[in-house]
């Protein structure tokens, strides 16, 4: 008399586990995915070993914007990544002209105001320089369907200054929540960049 209830209980447990795994797979594949920051290129916005939740759903219905922080797969030709995803900030989108000069970033001729860039020990904002190992390029036009990405720690970031713009299809999602350590719990805001609303002189 006890075998049937025990078998039924086992079936329910298996069904619950399978359903849980399916739900977990769907959420991680299409909705949100945890990501551990491993590089130092986003200091001091995001520090190594912090965890963020990557939004994979809303980018399916909306475009990436200037200032978004995204997780992406570096170009296959970029061997320095070791196959690990990168996390960087969107500087330019399709059609933009990005220029690095005088220690700053200019977008379509307008100097970007970037309060998120790494601060040195003396409190001064780190300058942005070109990475001259790629044809000494300091100006890029971002093709449609691609993004120009940089880390906030400009002096310690392998980014689009080296490997060029990245296909949107290589982007895993937008980082929207820092959740660990719990003391750093915070929604990750996208800066507004009001200076871009005013045409450059």
Indicate the domain borders of the chain: 34-197
Q: What pTM does this model have?
A: 0.83
Residue 47 pLDDT > 80? yes
User: For position 160, what pLDDT does the model report?
Assistant: 94
User: What percent of the chain has pLDDT above 90?
Assistant: 57
The verdict on domain 34-197 having CATH code 3.30.365.10 is no
User: For position 1, what pLDDT does the model report?
Assistant: 45
Identify the weakest region by mean pLDDT among 24-38, 94-108, 152-166.
24-38
Average pLDDT, the chain: 85
Residue 92 pLDDT > 90? yes
What is the torsional sign of CA 130, 136, 140, 142?
negative
Residue 29 pLDDT > 60? no
What's the CA gap between 200 and 51, in Å, rounded?
Answer: 38
Who wins on pLDDT, 182 or 15? Answer: 182
Find the mean pLDDT for residues 51-62. 85
What's the CA gap between 153 and 118, in Å, rounded?
Answer: 5
What is the torsional sign of CA 184, 104, 131, 140?
positive
Q: What is the DSSP string of 150-200?
A: E-SSGGG--SHHHH--EEGGGEEEEEEEEEESGGG-EE-PPP--GGGGS--
Contact between 42 and 155 under an 8 Å Cβ cutoff? The reply is: no
pLDDT-derived band at 2 (thresholds 50, 70, 90) equals very low
Mention every residue, 6+ apart, whose C-beta is less than 8 A from residue 122: none
Who wins on pLDDT, 118 or 10? Answer: 118
Q: Provide the annotated active-site residues.
A: 41, 88
């Amino acid at each position: 008399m006890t075998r049937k209830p025990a078998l039924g209980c086992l079936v329910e447990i298996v069904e619950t586990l399978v359903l849980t795994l399916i739900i977990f797979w769907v959420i991680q594949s299409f909705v949100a995915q945890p990501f551990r920051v491993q590089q130092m290129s986003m200091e001091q916005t995001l520090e190594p070993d912090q965890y963020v939740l990557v939004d994979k759903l809303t980018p399916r219905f909306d475009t990436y914007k200037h200032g978004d922080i995204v997780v992406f797969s570096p170009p296959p030709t970029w061997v320095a990544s070791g196959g690990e995803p990168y996390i960087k900030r969107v500087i330019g989108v399709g059609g933009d002209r990005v220029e690095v000069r005088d220690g700053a970033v200019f977008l379509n001729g307008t100097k970007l105001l970037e309060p998120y860039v790494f601060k040195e020990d003396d409190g001064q904002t780190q300058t942005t320089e070109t990475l001259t190992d790629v044809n000494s390029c300091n100006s890029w036009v971002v093709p449609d369907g691609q993004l120009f990405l940089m880390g906030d720690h400009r002096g310690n970031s392998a980014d689009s200054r080296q490997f060029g713009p990245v296909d949107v299809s290589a982007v895993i999602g937008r980082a929207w929540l820092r959740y660990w350590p719990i003391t750093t719990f915070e929604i990750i805001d996208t800066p507004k960049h009001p200076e871009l609303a005013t045409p450059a002189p």
